Every structure is written in structure tokens, then in C-alpha cells.
């Protein structure tokens, strides 16, 4: 079947371009440092949006009519993504200038919509093409492009409430039950904790090295990472958090050690802990310890629904602490982990299952 017929277009089709897309295409067409094919595609789409015929457009951009038709069909399918194209040449990217950062941010923050940029557009290869088009430079590692998103206050991370496996009706039912259960226990004088684990990473910053005479300066990045996990328990009574470092990986054994310490440090006789549905929280080695006569008999576990970390108050404590230290580069791992612990230890958090901070998702690239 003909490529163009698959998209339902004929030789006289007129493409639709939003005002925002028009402004970006005009800038790309005018930039002399852009790849020539980007300028041609931008020009062809702008002409087609004004109803100019395929034959005339083909003469203006000096390409075959079929080629122009394919460009327009691709525009219908992938919008802005179809204009940017990979090409030869590789230059190490210096830090973008202020104007380039602002232009990049203007493009990236545009929300996805049927008439705009598709959600799938914002992957690393696509952002690499955008940066190449705007600044004629390329970064060597994918993490550099992820860092550009951070500079713009954006993220690749899929927001927790939109997990593909999440059953909203089941989450609502389970949370109604858990909230009622927790409220009843608090009324009876129990100490209730919302608990969870968190993992932090420390990575050295990018630095430039002095090259031999006559060679270009190339950025050198220390990619060695140091991590530290913590077990946190937010008291729904005192609104304070007990934070325990975890040795090694998060697992059933480390959870048992943390719960034993939490039990020792809690004066109230009866304790309830609200946990997420991590697999190691359901291990028989842990659940058996809550039976009468066992080491954790004072603790009653309450499990949250699957794929619903946003309903756990301690997760919001973790997010607040991470956001507080995210843009501060500490020299040593100990300073990074200490800053995280100090932020939590010095505050009270007025969170419970009925009063949680709203989740910010407007800058996440999801549909």
C-alpha cells in the first residue's frame, strides 16, 4: 500500500499548525546554523499550512513532490518530532548560553496534546536533536540531556498516580478501609507509624580537564556513585520522623532490624505500622514475627494498596527532603546523606492519610 494513503492524505492536503508550532517552525527556518534538512522541512510545513500546493512547495525547497508529501504525512503522525532529524557531526557541548536555555525551556514545557507535541516525543534522542538544532552542539552521555530537563524543572519520571498497573477503584476501596482502621487505632491509644524506605545517591559533579596543547577541552565526569538507604517512620501522633540508616540493600532482614529498633524506642505498648506493598514486606520471615510470643508481637502491620505510594504520608516526607537537597552539590557522600537526615530530624510533618500535600504533575511528560 502506498505510504501516503496509509495516512489518508491526498496531493492537495493542507496541514494544520498551531500558533505555538508556527512560531517554533519560523525560528528553525530562519536559523542559518540549523541542519539544512530541518530548515527545509520547517519551510515546507509552513507553506502547506497556508494552502500552498505540493508542486510549488517542492520547487521552493528543491525536493521531489513525493518527498514533500512524505514530510507532510510524517507531520500528521508525529508533529514536531518529524521536523528534527539526526545527522552527522559530533561536537562536545559546552554549557548552553542563557538565551539557549530559555529557548529550550520554552519548547520543552509545552504540554502534549493531540494538536501539539506527542508525549512520546520527549525522549533523549528527541531532546538531543532539539539541542543540536538550537545550539549546534551535542553531549556525549544521555545523563547530560536528563540534566537539561532538571534545569528546566522537568522530569522523565512517570507520576505514581498514573502507573499502568494501578487500579483506582481498588486503591480507593483499600484506602477507605485503611483510613478507618488507622483512625480507630488512634482513638484507642495506639501509636501508628507510616513507614517506608528511601535510597539516596551521591555523584560527583562534572569538571573540565586541561588537555594537551592544541587539543580541545573535553568535560570529564566522575560517574562513581555512592548510595545510602534509610528506613523512615512518621508518627501520626507526634508528627515527627524516626530515621534509621540501612546497611546494604533494602530487604526483609533490614526491615526486621528497623522494626525491632522502632519497637524498642516506642513507649506505647500497642503499635501499628502502615507499609507499602513491597514484596519483602510480605515475606513469611517478617509476617511470622508479628505473632504472639514473637519478637515483633507488639506491632500490627497494615498494608497499603499496590502502586499507591502517593497515599503514604512518609513518602511525602521523603520527597520534601529530597527536593530540599536536590540542587545542592555536596563534596562528600556523608554531607549529602547528612543534609537529608538533618532536614527530616529538625521538622514536624503534619501529614496523615486524610491530609496529604497535592502532587505536582504538570511538568511530567505523560499523556
Q: pLDDT for 124-136, tens place per residue? A: 777 777 777 666 6
For residue 128, give the nearest of 116, 115, 146 by alpha carbon.
146
356 pLDDT exceeds 60? yes
9 — pLDDT class (breaks 50, 70, 90): very low
**Is the distance from CB of 109 to CB of 103 less than 8 angstroms?**
no
What integer is the mean pLDDT of 250-275? 94
Q: In this prediction, what percent of the chain has a pLDDT beyond 70? A: 67
Task: Indicate if 126 and 272 belong to the same structural domain.
Answer: no
> What are 294's three cell numbers?
514473637
* 202: CATH: 3.30.420.10
88 and 171 share one domain = no
Helices (H), the chain: 19-30, 36-49, 54-61, 65-78, 98-108, 124-135, 142-151, 168-187, 252-264, 284-287, 313-325, 333-345
**Quick check: is 64 in a domain?**
yes
CA-based angle 331:335:340, to the nearest 5?
Answer: 130
Stated as kind and residue range, the H or E segment containing 128 is helix 124-135
**Which residue among 151, 178, 195 closes a domain?**
151
Do 283 and 318 lie in one domain? The reply is yes
Annotate 346-355 with b (16+ C-beta within 10 A) or e (fewer).
Answer: eeebebbbee
Domain hosting residue 85, numbered range: 5-151
Question: Does residue 354 form part of some domain?
Answer: no
DSSP state of 257: H
Burial class (CB in 10 A: 0-12, 13-18, 19+), 117: buried
Q: DSSP secondary structure string, 141-177?
A: SHHHHHHHHHHTT-B-PPPGGG-TT--HHHHHHHHHH
One domain, residues 142 and 181: no
Same domain, 172 and 302: yes
Is 69 part of any domain? yes
Classify the C-alpha dihedral 78-80-83-88 as positive or negative.
negative
Query: How many domains does the chain contain in total?
Result: 2
Q: Examine the fold and report which residue of 89, 122, 151 is the final residue of a domain before the chain moves on.
A: 151
147 and 165 co-located in one domain? no
Cβ contacts of residue 249 below 8 Å, gap of 6+? 229
Q: SS3 helix, strand, coil % of the chain, rounded to 5?
A: 45, 15, 40
The cell 577541552 sits on which residue?
217
Confidence of residue 216 (pLDDT cuts 50, 70, 90): low
Mean pLDDT of all residues in the chain? Answer: 77
- pTM for this predicted structure: 0.55
Q: Is residue 321 part of a domain?
A: yes
Examine the domain organization and report whether 147 and 295 are in the same domain. no
In a domain, 196, yes or no: yes
Amino acid at each position: 500500500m502506498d505510504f501516503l494513503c496509509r495516512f489518508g492524505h491526498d496531493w492537495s492536503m493542507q496541514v494544520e499548525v498551531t500558533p505555538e508550532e508556527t512560531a517554533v517552525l519560523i525560528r528553525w527556518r530562519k536559523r542559518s546554523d540549523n541542519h539544512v534538512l530541518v530548515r527545509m522541512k520547517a519551510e515546507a510545513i509552513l507553506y502547506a499550512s497556508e494552502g500552498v500546493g505540493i508542486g510549488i512547495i517542492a520547487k521552493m525547497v528543491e525536493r521531489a513532490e513525493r518527498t514533500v508529501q512524505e514530510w507532510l504525512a510524517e507531520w500528521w503522525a508525529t508533529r514536531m518530532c518529524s521536523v528534527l532529524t539526526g545527522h552527522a557531526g559530533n561536537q562536545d557541548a559546552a554549557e548552553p548560553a542563557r538565551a539557549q536555555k530559555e529557548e529550550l525551556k520554552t519548547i520543552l514545557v509545552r504540554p502534549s496534546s493531540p494538536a501539539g507535541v506527542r508525549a512520546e516525543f520527549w525522549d533523549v534522542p528527541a531532546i538531543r536533536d532539539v539541542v543540536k538544532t538550537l545550539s549546534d552542539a551535542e553531549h556525549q552521555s544521555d545523563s547530560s540531556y536528563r540534566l537539561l530537563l532538571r534545569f528546566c524543572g522537568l522530569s522523565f519520571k512517570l507520576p505514581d498516580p498514573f502507573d499502568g498497573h494501578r487500579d483506582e477503584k481498588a486503591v480507593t476501596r483499600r484506602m477507605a478501609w485503611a483510613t478507618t482502621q488507622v483512625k480507630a487505632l488512634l482513638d484507642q491509644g495506639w501509636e501508628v507509624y507510616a513507614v517506608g524506605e528511601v535510597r539516596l545517591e551521591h555523584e560527583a559533579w562534572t569538571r573540565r580537564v586541561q588537555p594537551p596543547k592544541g587539543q580541545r577541552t573535553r568535560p570529564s565526569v566522575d560517574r562513581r556513585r555512592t548510595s545510602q538507604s534509610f528506613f523512615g517512620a512518621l508518627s501520626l501522633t507526634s508528627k515527627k520522623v524516626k530515621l534509621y540508616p540501612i546497611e546494604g540493600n533494602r530487604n526483609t532482614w533490614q526491615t526486621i532490624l528497623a522494626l525491632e529498633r522502632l519497637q524498642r524506642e516506642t513507649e506505647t505498648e500497642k503499635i501499628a505500622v502502615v507499609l507499602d506493598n513491597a514484596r519483602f514486606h510480605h515475606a513469611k520471615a517478617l509476617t511470622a514475627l508479628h505473632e504472639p510470643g514473637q519478637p515483633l508481637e507488639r506491632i500490627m502491620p497494615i498494608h497499603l494498596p499496590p502502586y499507591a505510594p502517593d497515599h503514604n504520608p512518609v513518602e511525602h516526607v521523603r520527597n520534601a527532603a529530597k527536593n530540599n537537597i536536590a540542587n545542592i552539590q555536596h563534596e562528600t557522600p556523608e554531607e549529602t546523606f547528612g543534609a537529608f537526615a538533618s532536614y527530616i530530624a529538625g521538622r514536624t510533618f503534619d501529614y496523615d492519610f486524610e491530609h496529604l500535600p497535592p502532587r505536582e504533575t504538570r511538568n511530567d511528560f505523560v499523556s
